[in-house]
Amino acid sequence: MDYNRNLIKEGNSLDQKNGLKMGLSKLMMNRLTLNDGRIDNMIKGIEDIRTYRRNFRPIPA
């Protein structure tokens, strides 16, 4: 995801332009916006899940 950050942001820019044309509200446009901080948070979330799965040990029944 980090490797494709610029491609993601370019695609998001197109999504935002289309959202404006469709008349989406400011709230929806804000939710649609992907900036570096939001992408960083997504990457961290994926890494957290990967770490959790690696360390997960099922409790025997």
Query: What is the predicted pLDDT for the residue at 58?
Result: 78
For residue 10, tell me if it sits in a domain. yes
Neighbours of 29 (CB within 10 A): 13
For residue 39, which of 59, 10, 19 has the smallest C-alpha distance?
10
For residue 18, tell me if it sits in a domain. yes
Query: What is the predicted pLDDT for the residue at 27?
Result: 96
Task: Please give the Cα distance from 48 to 28 (Å, whole number).
Answer: 27
Query: What is the predicted pLDDT for the residue at 40?
Result: 97
Total tally of structural domains belonging to the chain: 1
For residue 5, which of 57, 40, 47, 31 has the smallest C-alpha distance?
40
Query: What is the predicted pLDDT for the residue at 8?
Result: 96
User: In order along the chain (61 residues), what is the average pLDDT of each group of 10 residues?
Assistant: 92 96 96 95 94 81 75
Query: What is the predicted pLDDT for the residue at 43?
Result: 96
Task: Please give the Cα distance from 13 to 26 (Å, whole number).
Answer: 15
Amino acid identity of 39?
A: I
pTM for the model: 0.74
Q: Write out the residue range of the structural domain in which residue 16 sits.
A: 5-55
